[in-house]
Structure 1
Amino acid sequence: MFFVSVAALLSACSSAPVNHGEVKGAQTSSREMAQSDTNRVATLAMRANLDSLYLLMDKLYRRNPGEWKKSGADRDEVVKRVREAVELRQLWPELQGKRDIAAMALALSPDFKGDRVAAFIYATADMIIVAHEGKIEFFLIDGLDAQHLYNAARNVEIAAWILSSRRNAAGQPLLLADESGPGGRNLSFEREFGKIVGRLDLMAQFITEKYRRAGISYVQNLLGGSFLQFLPVR
């Protein structure tokens, strides 16, 4: 009887619903009136990618506290500066006026002496924004190039690989990120990079599909005008 009761209890626990949160939509804004569905999806994807980079910045600073100390400011202040530089499209001083992939190459250079976390996150965000025609929010007059978005996804993959494999002159990793050892595995950095790559690839495919579907819809409308109309019954 005891074992039956325990089995019943375990069965009840295993079948109990687990709350993992719920999907939340963005707040409605009057600016959406000037956005198509594609504009809105691109804006949400961009926001999610930037938030992923800011999360990675926080995680990298936790693993590499010596980086933010190079600036002489406290950690929160450095994070604030990086976010402002990204959102306001400002240059990052330690990157010598470079932007886009040139800034990424410098930030991941073994010889880079500045705050590598700030430089890397800023440069990666700037590259993604450049791939979106230099914009963070999109409206009816805006267009996107699917190949640029695809290339941005590959750039993020390359950057993640460099981060995990390249060493400085002392033979140490450029930055401590994912780890695997006797104490367990931490692959949270890889997962977050994967989310960014996935969103960029999906947007590239979506933009390509949009133009293809526009042609199909045009043909459907032509056919519908002739064959899909209701007929009078009286």
Structure 2
Amino acid sequence: MLLADKLYRRNPLEWRKNGAASREAALAQLEAAMINGQPWPPLGGRRDVAALSAALAPDFAGDRVAAFIFACSDTIVTAHGGKRDFYYLDSIDPQHLYNAARNMETALWILNTRRDAAGRPLLLANEIGPETRNLSFEREFGKIIGRLDLLATTMTERYRRAAISYLQGVVAAPLLAFLPVK
């Protein structure tokens, strides 16, 4: 939601495209859709990376900020197995998390480089100029990517340790028997 707020501040015409009365109303509408897992109507039922592609297509006519943020959120939720609540014994496929992190890198690159027919950026985000330097979007995406990578590494380590513990128990159990005292 922080990214959505920042993007709406730099691209105020976008929140007006979905008929919201204010930026705050557009953010509330987007947050409700993400929390409830409802599809975002302008994306035409697309989810995950298909939604990311649609949101960053030059011919997309809807609220690009909401579509982009919704698609990023949906990609991350999909990588978590479609779950939003987790319990101690739940597991996540680390490869899916790793793939989601790479998808976020790709989305950020496209956000920074893709232009419309007139040569303007699809969304104003990062800015590096002679007098100004705004890389706050890069930092926020870096945090998301870092968390996904950390979770993928942690889950990989969890599976590695479980395999090692199992093998140690099978192989070493006969050798670690107690010796007679007398």
Give yes or no for TM over 0.5.
yes
Cα distance in 2, alignment partners of residues 225 and 176 from structure 1: 65
1:205 matched to 2:153: yes
Q: CA deviation at 1:135?
A: 0.9
Cα distance in 1, alignment partners of residues 163 and 10 from structure 2: 50
Residue 163 to residue 228, structure 1, CA distance change in 2 (3 Å):
farther
Which secondary structure does the structure 1 equivalent of 2:133 belong to?
strand
Q: CA deviation at 1:228?
A: 9.6
2:3 maps to a residue whose letter is L
Q: CA deviation at 1:98?
A: 0.8
Residue 224 to residue 186, structure 1, CA distance change in 2 (3 Å):
farther
Show the counterpart of 1:83: 31
Cα distance in 2, alignment partners of residues 183 and 220 from structure 1: 61
Which secondary structure does the structure 1 equivalent of 2:128 belong to?
strand
Show the counterpart of 1:93: 41
1:143 maps to a residue whose letter is S
Q: CA deviation at 1:221?
A: 5.4
2:11 to 58, 64, 72: 64
Q: CA deviation at 1:205?
A: 1.3
Which secondary structure does the structure 2 equivalent of 1:162 belong to?
helix
Cα distance in 2, alignment partners of residues 208 and 175 from structure 1: 36
Which secondary structure does the structure 1 equivalent of 2:29 belong to?
helix
Show the counterpart of 1:132: 80
Cα distance in 2, alignment partners of residues 228 and 62 from structure 1: 68
2:51 maps to a residue whose letter is A
2:101 to 130, 147, 153: 153
Q: How does 1:212-231 map to 2 (within 5 A)?
A: 212-219=160-167, 223=172, 227=176
Cα distance in 1, alignment partners of residues 124 and 39 from structure 2: 25
What stretches of structure 1 move > 6 A for 4+ residues in a row?
none
Cα distance in 1, alignment partners of residues 156 and 108 from structure 2: 26
Cα distance in 1, alignment partners of residues 49 and 74 from structure 2: 9
1:110 matched to 2:79: no
Cα distance in 2, alignment partners of residues 145 and 91 from structure 1: 24
Which secondary structure does the structure 1 equivalent of 2:45 belong to?
coil
Cα distance in 2, alignment partners of residues 89 and 70 from structure 1: 21
Between 174-183 and 115-124, the greater mean CA deviation after superposition: 174-183
Pair member with larger Rg:
1
Q: CA deviation at 1:179?
A: 0.7
Which secondary structure does the structure 2 equivalent of 1:134 belong to?
coil
Cα distance in 1, alignment partners of residues 163 and 152 from structure 2: 18
TM-score, scaled to structure 1: 0.71
TM-score, scaled to structure 2: 0.90
Q: CA deviation at 1:78?
A: 1.0
CA displacement, residues 147-205 of structure 1 (integer Å, 9 cap, x when unaligned): 11111001000000000000011110010011112323111100111111111111111
Q: CA deviation at 1:220?
A: 5.0
Show the counterpart of 1:55: 2
Aligned residues: percent identity?
Answer: 58
CA displacement, residues 24-73 of structure 1 (integer Å, 9 cap, x when unaligned): xxxxxxxxxxxxxxxxxxxxxxxxxxxxxx11111111111111011221
Residue 156 to residue 224, structure 1, CA distance change in 2 (3 Å):
same
Cα distance in 2, alignment partners of residues 120 and 228 from structure 1: 59
Equivalent pairs, count: 180
Cα distance in 1, alignment partners of residues 55 and 46 from structure 2: 10
